[in-house]
Amino acid sequence: MPKEKCSSRYLKIWWVSGNSDYSTDSVVVYCQVCAKEVKCEKKFQLEQHSMNAHITTKGKKNSTPQQLLLTQVNLKSSVNTFSADLCKALECSNIPWNKLSSPVL
C-alpha cells in the first residue's frame, strides 16, 4: 500500500514546530527574525533562509545599540524641581502672586 502524502498545511506546521524563529497559520510561514513572509514548498527552503538571511539580520540586531527610554518618574521629578525653583525665584524677587495673571505661568 502506498504512503499517503501529507498536506502542505500539516508539513508547514511540522517544520515550524521545532524552530522558534518561525511561526505559521498553516498557510503562510512567517519569519520572526526578519519580520517577513517566507515562501516555502520544501523544508530545505526554510533551512536556506535560516542560513542566509538570519545570519545577517541577527548580526545587525545584536550589533546595533539601543537607547534606553526615559521614564515618566524622572521627567516628573525634573518638572517638580523646576517649579520649586521658579517659585523660589519669584518670591526672592518680591513679585506678588496676583501680578502673575498670565495663563502660561
* Residue type at position 84: A
36 forms bridges with which residues in the sheet? 31
C-alpha dihedral, 58 to 60 to 62 to 66, nearest 10°: -130
Nearest CA to 48 out of 27, 29, 25, 24 is that of 29
pLDDT at residue 94 in the model: 84
How far is the C-alpha of 14 from the C-alpha of 8, rounded, in Å?
10
- pLDDT by residue (tens digit) across 39-81? 888 887 888 887 876 666 666 666 666 666 655 555 455 567 8
For residues 16 and 29, the answer to whether their CB atoms sit within 8 Å is yes
What pTM does this model have? 0.43
